[in-house]
Amino acid sequence: MHSANFRESSLIGTFFTDEYGLIKLVARGARSKKNKLSNIKVPGAIFEIEFGGKGDLKNLYTCEIIDSIIIKESNLKIYLYLNEIIIRTIEPEAPVRSIFKSLISLYKDIQLSESPTERELKLRKFELDLISELGYKFSLTLDSKGKKIKEDLFYEFIPSKGFQVVNKESFRDVILGSSILKFNEGVFLNDQSKKFIKNIMKSSLDTISSKPLNSSKFFRLRKDAN
């Protein structure tokens, strides 16, 4: 997911793993092209790794590429964003196997998809699954009071609570109930709906994250998790 220089010739690699969740490992000598661990810098690579040692920062012993994702230039921002939200929202060494599998699947779907709208829908679905897995699930069919979302009413989104009915004239950042219900069915009602749902996911993830997401700073919503 990420690597940083460590001492003269080594790297600290951040890996997202099926069995151990998010872990940081020292790849000794990996900054040298001749070193067997230098392949951790290969973009889009999926590895099988062995690691061990004492203390919080363990050593990477082997790192074999078993699969890879072709990262098209047009999709680069999506991959960087996905890496960022995983690193910023998931606690170290907390296994989340369902998210790991979903992420690999999403990488491959993005690689194969030619439709920007289809890619965006898959990305929004992954964000929603991640938010739910981390314990911040919100309903797309019921409002914050447990009442059914209605197509002709307007709603604002409150992170950690969900959708709340509002008077459109009193709030700027609102969405029609029909847009929420359509998204629940896997469809964007229109471009405005697409933008608002994107903002909803960024706002929720920004609330969960230990630090504000860099990619979220352009998508601020009214935040009130209380």
Give me the tens of pLDDT residue by residue for the chain, a chain 226 residues long.
989 999 899 999 999 999 999 999 999 999 998 999 999 988 889 999 999 988 778 999 999 999 998 888 888 889 989 999 999 999 888 889 999 999 999 998 998 888 889 999 999 999 999 999 999 999 999 999 999 999 999 999 998 789 999 987 666 788 999 999 999 999 999 999 999 999 999 889 988 886 666 654 433 333 333 3
| pLDDT value of residue 167 | 83
3-state SS assignment for residue 33: coil
Residue recorded with tokens 């690689």: 111
Helices 97-112 and 76-89 cross at an angle (nearest 10°) of: 170
- β-pairing, 58-68 vs 45-52, is antiparallel
CA 88 to chain centre: 9
3-state secondary structure 51-72: EECCCCCEEEEEEEEEEECCCC
What lies within 8 Å, CB to CB, of 176 at 6+ separation is: 151, 152, 153, 154, 155, 189, 193
Count of C-beta atoms within a 10 Å radius of residue 201:
21
What is the third-level CATH fold of 1-68? OB fold (Dihydrolipoamide Acetyltransferase, E2P) (2.40.50)
Please, what is the Cα angle at 103 between 66 and 48, to 5 degrees? Answer: 25
Residue of 202, 178, 201 lying closest to 190 (CA atoms): 178
Domain ranges of the chain: 1-68, 71-226
CA distance 59 to 75: 32
Of 1.10.10.10, 3.30.1240.10, 3.40.50.20, 1.20.1440.120, the CATH number of 71-226 is: 1.20.1440.120
CA distance 202 to 138: 14
136: left (phi over 0), alpha (psi -120 to 50) or beta: alpha
pLDDT in tens, 44-96: 899 999 999 887 789 999 999 999 988 888 888 899 899 999 999 998 888 89
Amino acid making up residue 159: P
Token readout for 11 is 């790297």
| CATH topology match: 1-68 vs 71-226 | no
Could you give the count of Cα atoms lying within 13 Å of 173 in the half-sphere of its Cβ?
Answer: 17
